[in-house]
Structure 1
Amino acid sequence: MYLSRAEIDVKNRYKTKDLTHLGAYHNWVEQSFPDEIAAEKRTRHLWRIDVLAGKQYLVVLSEVEPDPKKLAMYAVPGTVITKSYDKFLNQIKTGQLMRFRLTANPTRTVTQPGKKQGRVVPHITMTQQCQWLIDRAEKSGFNLVDQVDVANPEQTATPAFSVVNRDWPMLHRKVGRGVRLSRVTFEGLLRVSDVATFKQTLTQGIGREKAFGMGLMTVIPED
């Protein structure tokens, strides 16, 4: 696995004028793997957009290395970085405390009378969105922990995580009208409970709309 990052050249409006919706970013990611396109054999590419210190970054997780020139298409020159992710994955241990960042599309399925398949609808409130993550933690190989778990145990426990961004970016599909997707970014602390399942979560993502910048969780060890 490989983790790549490129600073988006948002100050160059001419260069990035095409990046007006999630589908354009998806196309940027897919075009960064020309060998897969030529072979007509695509692998899953998880990605998201991060905002750090006023700068925007495209973060991509992939099974093979992206073409650095293609990944630099909309990037600030010299900012494309790709590193092997396998060594980090192989060092994960049960009980390890980590700080995480996850951008996801929290949804639920509503049963419709007279229909076999339910309708997928987004969670709207922050409370619903947080509960969505809580409900998926254990089966994703981790437990959400409180700050008190690593700080002063006499203090009142604070939330294990928080929502740092919520928005509704536009997605234009090839056919039909554009739609807006619920995008939520969570940050906080977790403890690994099942290494195999957790590694699968990191490499395969959480939730829906993975092709359009959702589901990628990244972590940094705290101990």
Structure 2
Amino acid sequence: MEVLESRCGTLTTRPLDALLDALEPGHTLHYRCTASPVRKPGHTTRAHYNLPAVVPLHGPAADAWWQRQADNAGLKLLTLHSQPVDAARDHLHPAGTAPADRAKNSNRIHHHRVRFDGTATITDPDLLRTAVHSGIGRGKAYGCGLLSIAPAPDPA
């Protein structure tokens, strides 16, 4: 365990090797992922419908996004519960910008977030290991797309 400054708290890390090595096709697990589900429409679609470059997804559209991401991460969803959470917000300042100039030279960062919870069956352990290590979707630097898994009893 590493101790941070007293005002920050403590940090504990645990190896995931045993969990990741035990992943097998057909096993059931619990998952949680707070992600930034978005669609990036093409230039023609954006111009025709006057859309921004990145469109946040809500409700059934966000659930469909998660279904596709889970499939690509080696999971077959059994249950899904989703709920919106507060957006991740920050400002990006160009390197070397003086504090006095930051307000006029900054880009707003905004990652719409939805938390996905449920159970799934493993279809491809290698894809799942990659998703746990690399994350899913955009906004990882702001805590989006970090996939957590835990063993669950296999359905009877």
TM-score by length of structure 2 reads 0.78
- Of 36, 41, 53, the residue aligned with 1:119 is 53
Matches within 5 A, 1:18-167: 68-70=2-4, 74-75=8-9, 79-113=10-44, 119-123=53-57, 125-145=58-78, 160-167=79-86
Distance 2:14 2:144 in 1: 21
Aligned residues with identical type, % of pairs: 25
Distance, in Å, in 2 between the alignment partners of 1:72 and 1:161 is 39
Structure 1 distance, partners of 2:5, 2:18, is: 23
Structure 1 contact 161–188 (Cα < 8 Å) conserved:
yes
Distance 2:141 2:76 in 1: 26
What is the CA–CA distance in structure 2 between the aligned matches of 1:81 and 1:177, rounded to whole Å? 34
1:207 aligns with 2:137: yes
Provide the aligned C-alpha RMSD in A. 2.4
Amino acid at match of 1:129: A
Matched, 1:171 2:105: no
Is the Cα–Cα contact under 8 Å of residues 4 and 11 in structure 2 kept in the other structure? Answer: no
Corresponding residue for 1:152? Answer: none
3-state SS of 1:211 partner: helix
Q: Distance in 2 between matches of 1:114 and 1:122?
A: 15
Where in structure 2 are there 5+ consecutive unaligned residues?
Answer: 47-51, 95-105
Q: Which amino acid aligns with 2:112?
A: S
- Structure 1 unpaired stretches of 5+: 1-66, 146-159
SS of aligned partner of 1:182: strand
**Code of the aligned partner of 2:93:** K
Instruction: For CA contacts below 8 A with separation 6 or more, give which structure has more relative contact order.
Output: 2
Number of aligned residue pairs: 137
Q: How far does residue 141 in structure 1 lie from its aligned partner after superposition? A: 0.5
